[in-house]
Chain A
């Protein structure tokens, strides 16, 4: 049910990745200033994926990649405070960057295209969210930004509502906010999604500022846009259900914090983070939410008590670092054998894989995870469905 490939060296790690609309191309950043684009990724043999382009326009680590499925453009943002939109020039067989005027004075940490591909939002350390759109009013070819300035600290991630006019931001001031990103320049009519009245650009929707105990670090909308999920650095996830009047269900689980979340349909959330394996959350019998399972250790042959496995993993990580420092080894077989998970370091990014992409899939959906161990792993959701019976995806 899971296939993994060491796509970049373990010492490097992967900060983020993104798929194109047909799932045969993959963009990732190996924890440096380069954007790597792989081709042939619809092959089931992951070792045959071919690195076709290495784009080194940024000066520092690329912290976010988003590939628009509406117009096949890639946007990247980096700690160097810049973002580039990449367009493929088929005649010259190369990716051409376009500069974006972000107007931020701290690192950019994440970037996401709106689902309709007309604008993108950047989370940054300058306590603001530039929302950029292509400026075609003059004889220019660049992206200009409008600022959302409602945050008291670093905005770690942004997530677009499916209507492309609302964003959720998670911030290290321990708040998740839902903010209007409606723009006259690109949006014909204002749409308030699950809220009654459209707000002006940059305004937080009423009662849509959700507190949590730790930094808010990741957010995602459900496919219908009626549910919002955000994860915090206090090992909790919160699910806001707008179909039920905006009620918030908080789940404090017993493992380490997440750094990426994604909905699997309307009834399940998968999250990845410092536990090195995806965790699955779903509706419980009482209509609330609960952590359902860990996708690696709970399925492994040597099933252990959850606590025991967690402690083993920590000692395995310690053994790995010990091997690195005392013997200068990357990972001897003896050490790697002590890991019970596919990934051997924190998961940094989760993406849905377009159908047909990544090879395999077995008719069901897939999602991919990348981690700081340089591996990419493909997880089949259909097998989750079978294994977990009552799961309502």
Chain B
């Protein structure tokens, strides 16, 4: 939990300077192994804050800068975010951008993987 709080601070400081760096920081080592739901929720909030702060023009370059593992993780967070009853129209644009990069295999992995975020 402390690690997630630390991550939140560094992501916040990056958020308005360098969106790509903030996104990569937010997707670093997602807490897939923990059983603590609070940690996963908190980390999801951090990632979704970054996704919500992005302007349309920033999407494609940010996704292009991700590694294959990071884009798979991002797709998992997009689906996690879409599962929330909240205004999340931006997530559809992210979904399209990640799909463009990783193909349908990325969606299959996000849905099939039991190491949830």
The interface of chain A, by Cβ under 8 A from chain B, is 174, 213-215, 233-236, 252-257, 306-307, 310, 314
Would B109 and A310 count as touching, CB distance under 8 A?
A: no
Q: Which of B60-117 contact A (CB under 8 A)?
A: 68, 72, 99-100, 102-106, 108-109, 112-115
CB-contact partner of B113 in A213, A256, A306, A307, under 8 A: A213
Given contacts A213-B109, A214-B109, A235-B109, contact A256 B104 (CB under 8 A): yes
| Contact (Cβ within 8 A) B112 A233 | yes
Alpha-carbon distance between A274 and B39 when the two chains are bound, in angstroms? 36
- Which of A174, A213, A236, A306 gathers most chain B CB within 10 Å? A213
Could you name 25 residue pairs across A and B whose Cβ atoms are closer than 8 Å?
A: A174-B114, A213-B109, A213-B113, A213-B115, A214-B109, A214-B112, A214-B113, A234-B109, A234-B112, A234-B113, A235-B104, A235-B105, A235-B106, A235-B108, A235-B109, A253-B103, A253-B105, A255-B103, A255-B104, A255-B105, A256-B108, A257-B108, A257-B112, A310-B103, A310-B104
Q: Which residues of A contact B104 (CB under 8 A)?
A: 235, 254-256, 310, 314
Residues of B with C-beta under 8 A to A255: 103-105
Inter-chain CA distance A103–B88, complex, in Å, is 52
Q: How far is the CB of A40 from chain B (nearest CB, A)?
A: 40
Contact with A along B49-68 (1 / 0, CB 8 A): 00000000000000000001
A24 to chain B, nearest CB (A): 38
A contact patch SS:
loop
List of 8 A-B pairs having minimum Cβ-Cβ separation, nearest first: A254-B103, A235-B105, A214-B112, A213-B113, A254-B105, A234-B112, A235-B108, A234-B109
**Number of B interface residues in the complex (CB < 8 A):** 15
Instruction: Give the chain B neighbours of A256 by CB distance below 8 A.
Output: 104-105, 108
**Beta-carbon nearest neighbor of A254 in chain B:** B103
In the assembled complex, how far is the CB of residue A214 from the closest CB belonging to chain B, in whole angstroms? Answer: 4
- Chain A nearest CB: distance from B60 CB in Å? 13
Contacts of B99 in A (CB 8 A): 307
CA distance A215 to B114 in the complex (A): 10
Specify the chain A residue showing the minimal Cβ separation from B109: A234
- Chain B residues within 8 Å of A236, by CB: 109
A252–B103 touching, CB < 8 Å: no
Cα A214 to Cα B109 with chains together (Å)? 8
Q: Within the complex, what minimum Cβ distance (angstroms) separates A121 from chain B?
A: 26
* B34-47 contact mask (Cβ, 8 Å, vs A): 1 or 0: 00000000000000
Most chain B beta-carbon neighbours within 10 Å: one of A215, A233, A252, A307: A252
Asked if A254 contacts B106 (CB within 8 A), the reply is yes
Nearest A residue to B115 by beta-carbon distance?
A213
- Chain A residue numbers with a CB within 8 Å of B112 are 213-215, 233-234, 257
Q: Which of chain A's residues have a CB closer than 8 A to the CB of B109? A: 213-214, 234-236, 252
Please name the residue on chain B nearest to A308 by beta carbon: B100
Given contacts A174-B114, A214-B113, A252-B68, whether A234 and B103 have CB atoms under 8 Å apart is no
Cα-based distance from A213 to B113 in the complex (angstroms): 5
Most chain B CB atoms below 10 A, which of A233, A235, A310, A314: A235
Residues of B within 8 A of A314 (CB): 104
B100 touches A234 (CB 8 A): no
Closest to B108 in A: A235
